[in-house]
Amino acid sequence: MWGAAQSPFPNERESGDAYVVQPGADGVLIAALDGAGHGPEAAAATRTAVAILRAFAGESLISLVLRCHEAIKGTRGVVMTLAFLGLRDQTLTWLAVGNVEAVLLHAGTAHDTRSKRALGRAGVVGYQLPALRPEVIPLEPLDTLLMATDGIEPAFADIVSPKEAPQRIADKILARYRKTTDDALVVVARYLGGGSP
C-alpha cells in the first residue's frame, strides 16, 4: 500500500523530483529522486535515472546507483534514496546518496514512537559518489516508510499517524511542509506483513 504527492517549483511546468514504485518477485523497489536545481534540465536527469531504476529494478541497490551514475554523467545529476522492501525475508534495505530524507516508522503502539532515518551520504549521482553502504532493517507489519525531497521541511514525519492511509499521509505532508523554493515530493509506503507491501 503506497501513495505519493508532489509539486513543481512555482511557475515551472515540470518537476525535477520523481519517484519509482516497482514491484518484483521478491519485493518492491521504492525510490525518491531529486534532480539538481529545478526545471527542464533537472527533470531530464531524473527521467533518465527513473528509466534505469525501472528497467533494472531486480538488481542490488548498489548496482542501481552505479548504473544511474554512468547514465547521467554530463547532466546536472540527481540525489536519491532507494529502498527495497524484501517480502520474503521481511526486511527493508535502503541506500541514500544526497539529501532525500527517508524515515521508517515502526507501527508499535500509540506511545511507541520508534523511528529510523536513512543515513544520506554527501554526493551527487552522475557527478561524485560517496562510499555506497546499504543498511538492512527488519520490518514489522504496518511499518511505514516515508521519503521526501528537500522541497519538504525536515520535520515532515512529526504528523504521521500509522492509522492513516499512505496517500492521505503524503497529501498532508505536502500541504503542511512544502517549501516554495524548490520542487517537492513525498512518497509513503506501508508494509502490511505476510509478504505484501
User: Which one is predicted more confidently, 81 or 114?
Assistant: 81
* Inter-CA distances, 117 with 63, 144, 162, Å: 22, 12, 16
Q: Could you tell me the CA-to-CA distances from 43 to 30, 74, 81 in Å, in that order? A: 18, 14, 17
How big, in percent rounded to 5, are the helix, strand and coil portions of the chain? 25, 35, 40
The domains located in the chain, with CATH, are: 2-190 (3.60.40.10)
Q: What are the grid coordinates assigned to 136, written together?
A: 538492512
Across the range 140-160, mean pLDDT stands at: 88
Q: Quote the pLDDT of residue 194.
A: 65
Please give the average per-residue pLDDT across 37-63, as a whole number: 90
Sheet hosting strand 115-117, strand order edge to edge: 2-7, 184-190, 144-148, 101-105, 115-117
Beta carbons of 101 and 94 less than 8 angstroms apart: no
Own/partner contacts of 109-118, CB < 8 Å, gap of 24 or more, are 115/157, 118/81, 118/83, 118/94
Supply the mean pLDDT for the chain: 88
Between 38 and 136, name the one with better pLDDT.
136
Given a cut of 90, whether residue 160 has pLDDT beyond it is no
pLDDT in tens, 7-28: 888 777 788 899 999 998 889 9
